[in-house]
Structure 1
Amino acid sequence: MPSTSRPAPQVTDASAPDDSGGTTLRRLREHLGPLVLQIECAPQSEDVLIGRQVIHDPCEPVPAQADGVLLAVGGSPGGADFLAAIGQAGAARYSAVVVKARGGDLAAASAAARSAGVALLVIPDDMPWRHLDALVTAATSASGPAQDTYTSIGMGDLFPLANAIAYQVGGAITIEDPLGHVLAYSNLPHQEIDEIRRQGILGRQTPDRPTNLDEYQRVIRADGPVVFDIPDTKHVNRLAVAVRAGPQLLGLLWALDGNPPLGEGAEAALEEAAKVTALHLLRARSHRDPDRWSRGEALASLLEGAVSGRTAAAQLGIAGDTATTVVAFAQAAPEEMPGLGGARIVDLVGLYCEAWHPQALCTTTGGLVYALLPTRTDPGAERRVVKFAENVVTTVQRSAGLALQAGIGVPAAQLDEVPNGRRTADRVLRALAGDPQAPTVATVSDVRSRVTLMELTERGAAAVDLPPGPVQRIIEHDVEHSTTYAQSLLAYLDAFGEAIPAAARLAVHENTLRYRIRRIQELFDLDLDDPDTRLVAWLQLRLHQIAG
């Protein structure tokens, strides 16, 4: 491959501390460790600064991203497309390209990387790309002067990390998961704790208090640290911040503002510590249950149709011809607590999945929680899945105070059909969300008519290329003159032209409704004696009602 010239990337002095606020390739390797990341070659040295990561499809051109890290998803290290992508990355001033070797020879890729002036990084074949993306996001966020304080702490060693944070922030620290489980805490002798902290340490769980839900909501929704002034003289004030890797909520940091009191720089120090903690929590979670993490990532990819059933079968440990059903869960009031609520739901759905079948799985993607249930094909299979969903909804409501709705997808005879089951479950959920009288759990058979109407609305089936008809003019007239002709006509058609039940539904006299229907026919030239006209008018009004 011909040499590709480009301006040399910004490189730090290896002998000097990195105070630029960026992350070097060397630091990234040290953070992630040799089990996660290996450097095949680094022609510009390991002290080159790296920027944001970019996921790349081998069939697409490499986008511009100076100092970026190109994640070559699906690329073969010896393929022509991949070698060309390395050259493009060099021309676009990337710092590194990441690849999975998959047993292939890296000699050609390494030579191309040296020629292009970019580092070639290799990760394990069985590591999900999403996991790597989250790790790199956490590592590159955890940069700058604060990170230097924590470099001697082993990755995932949360108790030494808590002590280091307590020293920097100036107050006793606890590290919690999104459910309030105490993962680690500081124990510096000069920092006092109160009774709430003591109970949390002894029980490894934040004590149940009336203000817990509101406090966690505030922390999770905030962009930075949150100060809590505790009126009870037996308890001290607190400072808290959410720990995230990108949009993913990983946990919370809590600092006590007691004896000694926190100083002026405590909020900034805690915010920087949260960036470092994100990487530790990702590594600790992966080490505690790496298989579960990997399976969750593989399930999310299968639900989205990003991998084939055959690939998913190998990653999930499930036969490709296993019959399954997807159940989608969503909060009935998603604004209530998007971060903490979602974590609680995943936790409880996971427990129910384990009780259902050893190969049942759950994951979260797109703001929803999904369960993949191996099912039989006997007549009672659907009822058992409905019962599963009802039990989850009831348990989450009772134990976490969160109202859920569940949509059940069509059964999949093999894993290749799972994405279709997920899409059906999503449609059922949307149908439930749009109907205040809907049940909490439904199959597509329960809401088939509404799902069909929503499909027509989404596909624009009613938007024929014709001039505005009577229904469009009725709707426009209502907007301009504050009339209720569209509502009245829809109620009349819903009642099969019977004025008495339609008037009762509208809470008007039947003669009033009859007068409105006559006026509608006169003003808008609408022939309600024609069956096709009645059908089209009703359909357009219903689609307008659903869309509005």
Structure 2
Amino acid sequence: MVLRLECAPAGEDIPVGPQIIHGLHEPLMVSPSGFLILVGGAAEDSGTLEVIARAGETGCSAVVLKSYGADLTSAVSAARQAGIALCTVPDDMPWRHFDALVTAASGALEPAQDTYASVGLGDLFALANVIAYQVGGAVSIEDPRGHVLAHSSLPHQEIDEIRRSAILGRQTPHRPGNSAEYERVIRADGPVRFDIPADDHTDRLAMAVRAGSQLLGLVWVLDGSPALGDGAESALEEAAKVTALHLLRARTHRDPSRRHRAEALASLLDGEIGGRTAAGQLGLAQEAGTVVVAFAQSAPEETPGLAGARIVDLVNLYCEAWHPQALCVAAGATVYALLPVRNDAGAQQRVVKFAENVCDTVRRSTQVVLKAGIGARNDRLDRVPAGRRTADRVLRALAADGGRLEAATVEDVRSRVTLLEYLDRGASNADLGPGPVQRIIEHDESNDSAYGISLLAYLDAFGEAIPAAARLSIHENTLRYRIRRIQKLFGLDLDDPETRLVTWLQLSLHQLGRADVRPDGGVSAPTKRASSNA
């Protein structure tokens, strides 16, 4: 018998994921339904019992070890408490042979996942299989020090002796030229191909995995049997982007204190806890100076959940670089960052640069366009909820701004924020009866004309026909004729300053209302483009 079941507290009919070859004192990655092969663990050793307990916490389904004739009572008890199965293999069976048997059996019984959306966040072994399917060769995912974090196990893809040794030892073996190869991959902007004329060493394709400028790891793909196709390099580039997300998420799962602090931040932003309580949970002084930055996508993400998760992880990465106590949390479609700041002249500009860097990194890494609303500086944690409301207002104003700014403070868009607040208040002058602006709007809607848009552009340009006409893509004489006609048809006296002010305000509020700017910063429908027809 190759595999002996010692206990199965959740029953024998449970899903089992990819095998994980784990050394006794190595960090344990999150692995939903993982099949943990514990190499070097003695059944009665306290370290073995601790690994069994942690395997249950990280989502593994089973742990496999060798008894070497020892009593398994403690190991079985630990497995029962962890809620996972415990199995043993014969003491004289080499681990590499057992790993090969499991790989062949799992490959024959279960179809390979072939899309990134099918992989749970942080499940690096399932991710390695999908990358292997997409790129076309056996894959290993390593950290920057060459430790093997995960590897693919598709049965039709062969591996060489170097890869086999790396999997069994969880570390790429040292050999001449190894350091130079790693350095070449780390310095490159894209995939790097290695043609290796050695019997035990197959050709390789490799690429560094980054989040912004930070190196997270490397992905290596064997170009042997079968050989890689023409699209392998572009497929590996896409794989590296997805791998960055999973490596970031795996790191977050290993930091429970950050999760607890994120929960406290969410409660503080909602006003559910006060500054004193938040200070203890966030590790900040109650009088700490902070700024809230709100990030939201300007368009819905194509892959639900995936881009949003990348945004949270990338913002967290920048928060870590900003300050040890900086933190972010997602609330609906918005990601909020709380940044400790000093009270000096350059603080605001540094926060703006932080927001711009996040937006730029997210755009390059995920092709998702973000807007960033920056709240005013708060000198007490009690004021953080007010800072969030300000950041939300700025974010909403950016969405209504037509894309001119990527990140802004309230001072950058104060007028637009004020207009949106007037729009929300819904001030009505219905008792006065319909005025010229209402009649212009009704005429445009009934006749598909562009009087309102033309007049607003003219007033925005302080009555200068040339820049206003350029904005509308019409000739200035056409605009001048249109303005004279508007005054005659609707009884507008544009020589009167109060009439110009009220007309501009009503048209601007109407334009914002047509854009349907939502509180989360999204825009449901664009405003109508001016027609060249009068």
> Which range, TM-score by smaller chain?
0.5 to 0.7
Q: Which residue of 2 aligns with 1:545?
A: 511
Give the number of equivalent residue pairs. 327
Q: In the TM superposition, what is the alpha-carbon distance from 1:460 to its structure 2 partner?
A: 1.5
Pairing 1:456–2:422 present: yes
The DSSP-based 3-state class of the residue aligned with 1:483 is coil
Q: Deviations over 1:287-321 (max 9, x none)?
A: 73322111111111111222222222222222211
Could you say which residue in structure 2 is the equivalent of 1:114? none
Separation in 2, partners of 1:481, 1:373: 52
C-alpha distance 482-206 of structure 1, shift in aligned 2 (>3 A): farther
Letter of the 1:487 counterpart: I
Q: Does 1:533 align with 2:473?
A: no
Aligned partners of 1:156, 1:493: CA distance in 2, in Å?
71
Partner residue, 2:274: 308
Alignment deviations for residues 433-485 of structure 1 (CA, whole Å, 9 cap, x no partner)? 22334221211111112121112112223566542221111111111011111
Q: Is 1:330–1:369's contact at 8 Å kept on the other side of the alignment?
A: yes
1:394: how far off?
Answer: 2.4
Computed over aligned residues only, the root mean square deviation of the Cα atoms, in angstroms, reads 4.3
Deviations 1:362-407 (A, max 9, x none): 1111211111011111111111111222222222233344332211
1:288 to 243, 254, 267: 254
* Superposition pairs of residues 407-418 of structure 1, within 5 angstroms: 407-418=373-384
Report how far residue 540 of structure 1 moved.
0.6
Structure-2 change in CA distance of 1:201 and 1:435 (3 Å) = same
- Whether the 8 Å contact between 1:181 and 1:205 is mirrored in structure 2 is no
Pairing partner for 1:343 from 296, 309, 313? 309
In 1: Cα distance, 2:121 partner to 2:364 partner: 17
Question: Of 472, 479, 489, which aligns to 1:523?
Answer: 489
Matching residue of 2:357: 391
Separation in structure 2 between the aligned mates of residue 453 and residue 523 of structure 1, nearest angstrom: 28
Residue 470 of structure 1 aligns to which amino acid in structure 2? P
Give the distance between the partners of 1:385 and 1:459, measured in 2 at CA: 31
1:371 alignment partner in structure 2: 337
Taking structure 2 as the reference length, the TM-score comes to 0.53
Corresponding position: 1:171 with 2:110: yes
Deviation per CA, 1:101-129: give whole Å up to 9, x if none.
xxxxxxxxxxxxxxxxxxxxxxxxxxxxx
How far, CA to CA, are the matches of 1:359 and 1:486 in structure 2?
A: 50
Counterpart mapping for 1:32-431 below 5 A: 170-171=109-110, 181-183=122-124, 198-199=138-139, 204=149, 288-431=254-397
> After the TM superposition, which residues 439-454 of structure 1 pair with which residues of structure 2 at under 5 Å, given as runs?
439-454=405-420
Return the match for 2:402 from 436, 453, 469: 436
1:233 Cα deviation after fit: 8.7
**CA positional deviation for 1:181:** 4.2
Which consecutive unaligned segments of at least 5 residues does structure 2 have? Answer: 1-9, 11-78, 88-101, 143-147, 153-189, 192-224, 229-241, 244-248, 515-534
Structure 1 position 501 matched with structure 2 position 467 = yes
Deviates more, 1:498-507 or 1:389-398: 498-507
Q: Secondary structure at the match of 2:335?
A: strand
CA deviation vs aligned residue, 1:17-72 (integer Å, no higher than 9, x gap)? 9xxxxxxxxxxxxxxxxxxxxxxxxxxxxxxxxxxxxxxxxxxxxxxxxxxxxxxx
Decide whether aligned partners of structure 1 residues 347 and 378 sit closer, same or farther in structure 2, where only a CA change above 3 A counts.
same
Query: What secondary structure sits across from 2:505 in the alignment?
Result: helix
Identify if the C-alpha distance between structure 1 residues 440 and 501 changes in structure 2 by more than 3 Å, giving closer, same or farther.
closer
- Helix, strand or coil at the partner of 1:468: coil
Contact 2:458 2:464 in 1 (8 A): yes
Looking at structure 1, the residues matched to 127 and 405 of structure 2 have their Cα atoms a distance apart, in angstroms, of 47
| Structure 1 residues 511 and 403, CA gap change in structure 2 (3 angstroms) | closer
- Over the matched positions of the two proteins, sequence identity in percent amounts to 59
5+ residue gaps, structure 1: 1-16, 18-151, 188-192, 210-231, 236-250, 253-281
Q: CA deviation at 1:180?
A: 5.8
How far apart in 2 are the matches of 1:531 and 1:205? 71
AA paired with 1:182? D
Secondary structure, counterpart of 2:139 in structure 1 = helix
Is the contact between residue 372 and residue 407 of structure 2 (CA under 8 Å) also seen in structure 1? Answer: yes
2: distance between equivalents of 1:356 and 1:478? 51
Verify the 8 A CA contact 1:328 1:422 in the aligned structure 2.
yes
Residues 436 and 478 from structure 1, CA distance in 2 versus in 1: closer, same or farther, beyond 3 angstroms?
A: same
Q: Within 2, Cα distance between the matches of 1:291 and 1:479?
A: 57
Q: What is the CA-CA distance between 1:506 and the residue it aligns to? A: 2.8
Letter in 2 for 1:398: R
Secondary structure of the equivalent of 2:279? helix
Partner of 1:475: 441
Aligned partners of 2:296 and 2:372 also within 8 Å: yes
CA contact (8 A) 2:119 2:127 kept: no
Distance 1:471 1:287, change over 3 A: closer
Q: Check 1:306–1:463 CA distance in 2 against 1; reply closer, same or farther (3 A cut).
A: farther
Number of the residue aligned with 1:262: none
Q: Deviations over 1:499-524 (max 9, x none)?
A: 34333433334443333223222322
Verify the 8 A CA contact 1:159 1:186 in the aligned structure 2.
no
Contact map agreement 1:179 1:344 (CA 8 A) in 2: no
Contact 2:136 2:226 in 1 (8 A): no
Residues 136, 227 of structure 2: 8 Å contact kept: no
Please state whether the residue corresponding to 2:313 is helix, strand or coil: helix
User: Quick one: distance in 2 between partners of 1:420 and 1:197?
Assistant: 53
Match of residue 63 from structure 1? none
Paired with 1:356 and 1:179, the residues of 2 have a C-alpha distance of 29
Change (3 A) 1:180 1:289: closer
Give SS of 1:442's match. strand
* Distance of aligned partners of 1:545 and 1:503 in 2 relative to their CA distance in 1, 3 Å threshold: same
Q: Report Cα offsets for 1:135-186 as digits up to 9, x if no partner.
A: xxxxxxxxxxxxxxxxx987696999xx9xx98x941678999786434569
CA gap of 1:311–1:172, structure 2 versus 1, over 3 A, is farther
TM-aligned CA distance change 1:403 to 1:286, over 3 Å: closer
- In structure 1, C-alpha distance between the alignment counterparts of 2:454 and 2:252, rounded to whole Å: 59
Distance 1:412 1:292 in 2: 22
Q: Name the SS for the 1:369 alignment partner.
A: strand
Moved more, 379-388 or 437-446: 437-446
* Contact 2:374–2:409 (Cα < 8 Å) also in 1: yes
Assess, with a 3 A threshold, how the Cα gap between structure 1 residues 234 and 501 changes in structure 2: closer, same or farther.
Answer: closer
